[in-house]
Amino acid sequence: MFKKIIIVEDFDSIGLGISAVIQNRIGANEIVTSQYCDDAYLKIKRAIQDSIPFDLLITDLSFEKDHREAKIKGGKELVEKLRQQGISIPIVVYSIEDRRVVIKELLEIQKVGAYVLKGRNGLKNLEQAILTLTNGEVFLSPELENSSEKKELFELEDFDISLLSNLAKGFSQNEISKDFKLKGMSPSSLSSIEKRINRLKEEFEAKNAIQLVATAKDLGLI
């Protein structure tokens, strides 16, 4: 049973909802919440140093930017940083992110114990996830379990998202290429940028980059 739990979630409404469920249904006796990944990281490290470590981390993936400058920008980075430091705390990811690539990496490489999709029954699944985790088993949201093959037709990588948002910001393909080169990303050549945009255009049946970005907006991808 998990006694000491830390929750990392930027939206206060969701954080409060999670807290309530944990308190009423799981029976932890110490719940700490944090709206910033940086804070959460420090708290986790500190707790280990003080020999009163957390038993469980529940974290969101995406965090809104605000006035505070953030070193750790999202839940994925937080998890990666913890694992790099050899911290093997059990982790539940609670996010709206449904792309298999992302989820797969978290489960298989970062050894996250549970992946719960936010949604109508997100909290029910979260509760189930924690119980499953108590038995040392891995939990995956039911929405993801069954339809694993259908949706896998086409999934956007972070690269594609980055590409699309750069386009939406008005950068030319050349500028994007140079920017990617600066950041050491791969691929970064103008030709590859073109190719990738082309692939996306085919995928979304867009005649040109304008329509592509427009449909990406419609689908909420960017």
- Contacts to a second copy by CB under 8 A: 10-18, 20-21, 35, 64, 66, 94, 118-124, 126, 167-172, 206-211, 213-214, 217-218
Three-state secondary-structure class, residue 168: helix
Q: What is the closest distance, in whole angstroms, from the C-beta atom of residue 217 to DNA in the complex?
A: 16
Amino acid type, 64: E
What secondary structure does DSSP assign to 66-96, as a single string? -SS--SS-SHHHHHHHHHHTT----EEEEES
Q: To the nearest whole angstrom, how small is the minimum distance from the Cβ of residue 185 to a second copy?
A: 20
Lay out the site mask for DNA across 170-209 (x = CB under 7 A, - = otherwise).
--xxx-----------xxxxxxx-xx-xx--x------xx
Under DSSP, the state recorded for 218 is H
Query: Which does residue 52 bind out of a second copy, DNA, none, counting CB within 5 to 8 angstroms by kind?
Result: none
The token pair at 20 is 């309530």
Q: Which does 188 bind (CB under 5 to 8 A by kind): DNA, a second copy, none?
A: DNA
Q: CB-based contacts of 139: which residues, under 8 Å, 6+ apart?
A: 92, 113, 114, 115, 116, 128, 129, 132, 133
Binding site for DNA (CB under 7 A): 172-174, 186-192, 194-195, 197-198, 201, 208-209
